Structure 1
Amino acid sequence: MDQQPGGLGRAIQVRRAELGLKRKEVAERALLSYPYLSELENGTKTPSAKALRQLAEALELSQAELLDRADSSPVRPDHRQSTGYARDGLPPISITTGTGGASDTFSGSHEFEQLGRLADVVAATVRAELAAWARTSLPTLIRDEVRRVLDEEGRAHR
């Protein structure tokens, strides 16, 4: 596994969100402890071959697919040079969420990384919800609309 540190953890988080699963549910499916899965997601542990297999199965992926996702999962570094700037040479940014409290201000690349991860998880969750809606509700809506149109056409031809 030559992916960047944290890439596997990020891939696990995103896939878990895509499936709409909580960490506890994935841990149970994979027969892994919750703390161990948490360490894997946070990038502080590297899984054994057996744990990787169990985790891939729990996430409904092959091991190769999971590792591919880990290799392609971007990791935002939080390394700062002595100047206090992030590795990319840009100064740390400050984002205020709008409620005005001191606890609502995020500054520096670490918090920006957390916002990026949150955005990825939200996007994956939205995609998963849309996919579920397309599988369940959308066919019924289409069927009902087709029936309505056919009924209207039938009445118009009478």
Structure 2
Amino acid sequence: MTTLPPFARVIKEQRDRLHMSRSQLAEASELSYPYISQLETGLRKPSRNAARAIAGALGISVEDLERTIPGDTKDRSQVQEAERFSDQLLSARTGARLAASAGDGSSGAPGSREDLIGDIIDLLEEFDSSERLDVLAEVQKRAMHRMMEQRDR
């Protein structure tokens, strides 16, 4: 028996509680059905933008939903912490807690510094782990070059 990752479990169970189909969640979050399916079955890790959209569609705070995503899935303590938090979200009092957080589907202004940094990290994770430092160094080099050009104008 395979168990779902905490994030996948939370979105599936909350979607079921709201009597939403995957198609309805995809439409409400403006994400594709295949992507929702992959997230819900644990095949993919969500981007920050996807987590934000899903949180809004399910009436869960972004902060709460993001706490169900371990930073490093190979670090057992991070996975256990995400599992514990997802259990709290889905506990008997979940209905009241989730209802109270409905409408709180964003964590700050879109495009905030924290959101942009998260997006950059999500993009870096698209690269093979052996390439990430080289990619990050190249990004830093190009950014510095642009800043120098702007300064000289």
Q: TM-score, normalised by structure 2?
A: 0.43
Q: TM-score, normalised by structure 1?
A: 0.42
Rg larger for? 1
